[in-house]
Structure formats: structure tokens, C-alpha cells
Structure 1
Amino acid sequence: MQPPCRYLLLLLYLLFLSGTWADLEESFTVRLLQTSTFQNTSFVDTEGLGLLEDIELGSLDKHTWTIRFYQPWVRPALPRSDWDTIQNMIRIYLQQFNHLINEGAMQKDVPYPFVAQCMAGCELYPNRTSRAFAYVGYNGQDFLSFDVDNATWLLSQDTNLSRYVQAVLQNFTAFSELVEVLFNDTCVDDMELLLHYGRAALERQELPVATVFARTPKPDQLLLVCHVTGFYPRPISVAWLQDGQEVPPGPALNTSTILPNSDLTYQIRSILAGATRDRHSYDCRVRHRSLGKGSLLIPWGNSELVLITGLGAGTWVARPAATALWVWRRRKHQQMEESDSRNSILSKEA
């Protein structure tokens, strides 16, 4: 019997064969995610997803156990015969996984229903070194993790069930050796093809839309809100400046996590608490890859809208009365429309 995650890791090996190295100056992570809900000993509902960073490569049809491709460049990366092999391996893996989990659940009197999860993948660094990982979860909690360097499974929670699964997995020495070879020796080469085909998607950039406005939940309380949305990729820096100095983390500063939008971009909100009679000046500063070395600097509390360009640091400043709003995409579209209009006039004149 093959252990859980072995075929999941083999899929990574088949997915990322040799190709042309993409000259990208950052780290990249590929992950295969599996969630299996065991309703009883005879019915298991399984979902699977493949990701390169936050780009969804494809998912698993839970009824047929076949791959559904989400990106047009994923399927052409491998010949049809390789995809057939991968789909057959998915079926074998899931059959073995379900059998082993059900067997352990019955031996340890685990109550149904429950959820088992598995995540495997590797992270590739700019110097062409890599780090592999494999995790098993149970009912939404960390359960086991694989130490690639020592080829051992580590307990994330110490229970009779986790010790049982750990012992079963640890007996599969061939699996441990496979993980070491795949991820310590070949992850760099295996990742090349995917990075090559997906380079345009990985380098996609969307400019942020930043808005600053105020709320007064109490007569003497002022909440300054900086809402930034529509940006891609995900990493972003949003900070408040008080009289030109960055406000450090504290009870007055509350920044949300980065949340996804429906159009495959992201949003974030930062709220700074103050007093209505506060006479300090405040600015919301946004830094993002799409802005290059510049940044968005949106002051609060000015009487008119002013666009300042040509600053040495490449900073853009918007100054409104009650709301500071700078929509980068709109400006970009206007420039394109003006350019098209000029080209049309020149064409008619010619």
C-alpha cells in the first residue's frame, strides 16, 4: 500500500519537467492541495487544487477525478500522454488514500464525519535552491508535517490517532527517499517549465486604487480609513504618516489582512483612530510593485485636489477636501483614449 501524499508528490514531479529557466528575481511556490471529507466508510467527497503562487492552475473534478484546467497555458505544457498518466496517478492515489484513512479511523474509533487534508509542494529561491514541504491536516487543524532534511514525519498534535498515522507513514522508507530526491535534487529543474509557460501571468501587474475617508463613530472620535483595492500581485505596503513620520503599530492603528476581489485582484484597509480636534497632518502611503520605485501618498484634510508629479522619489500626491481619491486605472485609460483620438485625427488628415 502506498502512503498518503506519495502520489500527490509524484504529481508535482510529472507536472514540472525540464524546460527553459525563467529569469525571475524572486521566490515561487507551487502547491497541490487536497481536502477529503469522510462522511462514512463508503462515501468520501474529495476536492483538489493546484497553485503556482496564487494562480489557480487547475482543480480536480470530484465526480470523475479528472483535471479541469484554469489557465490556457497549463495544458500545452505537457503532451496528452503525460496528462493521462497524471490523471491515472490521481485515481490510484485517492483510492489508496481513502483506504488507509478509513482503515485508521476504524482501528482508532474515529467518529464520522471528519475531514482529512494534504498539502505538498516546494518553494524555489532566486539562487536556484529550494525547500520542500508536505503537511497532513485533520478537521481543520495541523496534524503531521514532513521534515525533508531528516526524512521523518513530525507530530503537530500528540494524540493516539496522530501517533498511529505517523507510525504508518514512517514505515514507508521508499516514500521518504522519494521526497528527498524530488525536492532536494530536482525541484529547480522541475519548476522551470511551469515558470516558462506562466511567465506572463506571474509578471502581471495591476495598479492600486486608493481612497481615504473619515468616520466619526463618536463626537470626539475620528477614524481615518485608507482603502486600497484593485492591485496585483498580492504583496503591498500601506502605512499612515503623522506629520511626515510613519505611525508605528499600536492600538490606534488597525490594518486588515489582504483580501481577494472577484476579478483576481486584492484589497486592504487601514484605519487610524484619532480625536476630532486633532491638528496633526496625516497621509496614507501606498507602496506596490506596479508603482515601481514610487508610491501613492494621499494626504488628509486639504481643500482641493492637486496632482504633484516629477518628485525625486517618484511620489504621487492627491489632496481632497473630505475624501482623497486617486484612481490610477482611470488616468491610464484616459491617456489611452487621448492617444487613440490623436491617432485617429492624424489618420484622417493623412
Structure 2
Amino acid sequence: EPQVIQYLLTSLFANISSAEVSCVAHVGDIAILTLDPANWSIHFHWPWVSQAASEGDGEKVMSQYKIVLRNMIRFVHDTVQQTKQHYPLVVQFRAGCVVYANMTSQGFLNVGWDGRDLVAFEVDKQCWEARQPSQVAEVVGKSLNSQKSVRMLLEYLLSIWICQSNFLTLKRYGKEILERKELPVATVFARTPSLNQLLLVCHVTGFYPRPISVAWLRDGQEVPLGPALNTSTILPNADLTYQLRSILAVAPRDGHSYVCRVRHHSLGTRSLLIPWENHSTAPNISITTAVLLLVATAFAGGFWWWKRR
């Protein structure tokens, strides 16, 4: 699975003299920092993030980010005036890097305008490209492309600093958190919504990281996707792990064996196999036993009464 580091910035422009900026950064699904909208101060969620930020070019970036935010606000207001747009307005930035298992990477920077993709910076080409056929996208793209020094700076930040220096430094300082592995715990049980249907439920919880594979095996063969198979989305737990359920609809006493198979990064090359134990005959056995006991008791009572008479 590739790893993603991303900075998500949202700016709300209520009018020509107002701008509220907030930002959050994640490595994978772990929040590492947030920007306080009130005073633009940075809150580091972990001590190791602060350490990583002060190393190398990170210190320079941290010292210049407020200037970048002021320039961004001024640019948006100028664009609104030039294109005769209206307030209120929301502008969003998504910047970061996708790092693959072989350590190749791809930086990205996308800009959204009122909920729609506006422009994106193509790192390999060192240029901005429109993502919608509008006057705003044309004006913004043309203006940003005219600033060669900014384009060169963005190419460096996205391909070198975020994808290599920043990412590797965060991985080094936050290794224990970023490479955490928690084993999945799986249980299998059945529900009977009707007499002619049985729902086999495989509940898997407590695993980390998020990617996981859960499948049902019928007589050793994987059950293909279809209307009888329903797997939930992966949901977060309060302890920063995840859970999901996979439900398979079958006919009661169909003569097949069923196993829930779980594959996860924490298990390595192994698989977790949880069989469903078919106890469908247990109720019949219990009822039969109860009837026999009742008959025996009645017979013994009748014999005692006959003897006493």
C-alpha cells in the first residue's frame, strides 16, 4: 500500500475584508498538525512531529508559512475582483505526496473553488493546468504560470522536500506510531432472519493499519462477490484501530462448510481462518431429549400410581 502525506487547507472568504484559514496535515490516517484559525499558530499533535519540523529545510518552511498565507489571501481577493465573483467563497488546497513501496513518489497540489476542482500543479511539467472550463480557472492558471520562481519553488517543495526530506524525517522520528501494527480479532456467528435463511456474520476488529482483506470460503473455495455477500465499510474504533463486518446469506443446513478468512499486514504471509460451527442440529437434539424425558417421567409416574392403587 502506498503511503500518503498531505496538507489540507481551507479558506473561507466571507467578504472582501475577511478570510478564515484552517489547515490539517496527515501521514496516512494519522493527524500530525493543525493550524489555529484564530492566530495561525501551528499545533503539533506529537512531539516527534515538532522535532521533524525543525530539521533541515523544515525550519525555513515553518518560518515562511504565514507570508505564504497572506499572499494567498491577497491573490484570492484580487481574483474575485478581476473575475467579478461573489462572496462568501470557499477556497481549498490539497498538497502532498504519494510514496510507493519501491520509494518512488509523486507530489500533488490541487486547488478547489467553491467545492469544485479549479486548477492543479503538474510537478513533472512545472506548470498549472485548469480543471474546469471557466474564466476563474483560466485567470488563475495564467497568473500562476507567469510566476516562474514560484513554479520552481513548488516543484522543489513537492518533489524534494515533502516527498523525500519531510517524509523520511517524519518516518524516522515517528517510526513507532507510523509503523504500528495491531492484529485483527475475528469472531463468526449466525443470525436467522427467517426460517429459510441464515446470515453468517464475520466481525473483524482491533486491526491497524486500515487496509484489510476479508473473504468467505465455501468448502475451501472463495465465495465470489454477489447479492448474498455484503461487506461493510471499514469503520474506526475509539482506540485508533478499525473494524468491519462481512455477512454471507446461506440456506440453513445446506451441507457446506464455511470459513471466514482474514488477511492483514500484521499477519505477514499468514491468514486468520475462523470456521463457522454449525450447531443447527443442537435445538432438534435438545427438543427430542426433552420430549423423551417427559415421556419417561409420565411413564414412571403412571407406574407408581398403578402400584399404589
Checking the alignment, whether the CA contact within 8 Å between 2:52 and 2:58 is kept in structure 1 is no
Checking the alignment, whether the CA contact within 8 Å between 2:259 and 2:274 is kept in structure 1 is yes
The aligned residue for residue 67 of structure 1 is: 42
Write the mapping of 1:44-123 to structure 2, written as runs, cut at 5 A: 44-79=19-54, 85-123=60-98
The aligned residue for residue 188 of structure 1 is: 164
Q: Which amino acid aligns with 1:60?
A: L
Structure 1 segments unaligned to the other structure (5+ residues)? 1-25, 305-320, 323-350
The answer as to 2:293 corresponding to 1:289 is no
User: Which of 250, 253, 267 is the equivalent residue of 2:229?
Assistant: 253
Checking the alignment, whether the CA contact within 8 Å between 1:241 and 1:284 is kept in structure 2 is yes
Q: Which amino acid aligns with 1:55?
A: I
User: Which of 197, 201, 206 is the equivalent residue of 2:177?
Assistant: 201
What displacement does 1:277 show?
Answer: 5.6
Checking the alignment, whether the CA contact within 8 Å between 2:106 and 2:159 is kept in structure 1 is yes
Q: What whole-Å deviation, never above 9, does each CA across 1:225-248 have from its counterpart, x for those lacking one?
A: 322222111111111112211112
The aligned residue for residue 238 of structure 1 is: 214
Q: Which amino acid aligns with 2:153?
A: L
Distance change >3 Å, CA 78–CA 183, structure 1 → 2: closer
Checking the alignment, whether the CA contact within 8 Å between 1:208 and 1:229 is kept in structure 2 is yes
User: Which of 117, 120, 137 is the equivalent residue of 1:145?
Assistant: 120
Between the two proteins, the alignment pairs up a number of residues equal to 281
Checking the alignment, whether the CA contact within 8 Å between 1:67 and 1:87 is kept in structure 2 is no
Larger RCO, structure (CA 8 Å, separation 6 or more): 1
Distance 1:280 1:126 in 2: 40
SS at match of 1:41: coil
The answer as to 2:116 corresponding to 1:161 is no
Distance 1:198 1:122 in 2: 17
Write the mapping of 1:194-343 to structure 2, written as runs, cut at 5 A: 194-276=170-252, 278-303=254-279
Distance 2:72 2:146 in 1: 16
Distance 1:92 1:212 in 2: 56
TM-score where L is the length of structure 1: 0.71
Q: What whole-Å deviation, never above 9, does each CA across 1:220-274 have from its counterpart, x for those lacking one?
A: 4433332222211111111111221111222332223322222211122222233
SS at match of 1:251: coil
What displacement does 1:188 show?
Answer: 2.6
Distance change >3 Å, CA 52–CA 280, structure 1 → 2: same
Checking the alignment, whether the CA contact within 8 Å between 1:214 and 1:224 is kept in structure 2 is yes
Distance change >3 Å, CA 212–CA 39, structure 1 → 2: farther
Distance 2:114 2:181 in 1: 36
Distance change >3 Å, CA 43–CA 211, structure 1 → 2: farther
SS at match of 1:56: strand
Distance 2:194 2:144 in 1: 58
Checking the alignment, whether the CA contact within 8 Å between 1:35 and 1:46 is kept in structure 2 is yes
Distance 1:222 1:154 in 2: 54
What displacement does 1:290 show?
Answer: 1.8
Bigger radius of gyration: 2
TM-score where L is the length of structure 2: 0.79
Distance 1:27 1:220 in 2: 44
Dislocated runs of 4+, deviation >6 Å = 80-84
SS at match of 2:152: helix
Distance 1:245 1:282 in 2: 9
Distance 2:232 2:200 in 1: 14
Q: What whole-Å deviation, never above 9, does each CA across 1:17-68 have from its counterpart, x for those lacking one?
A: xxxxxxxxx7433211111222222332222112222221111111110111
Distance 1:64 1:42 in 2: 16
Q: What whole-Å deviation, never above 9, does each CA across 1:277-297 have from its counterpart, x for those lacking one?
A: 644322211111222222221
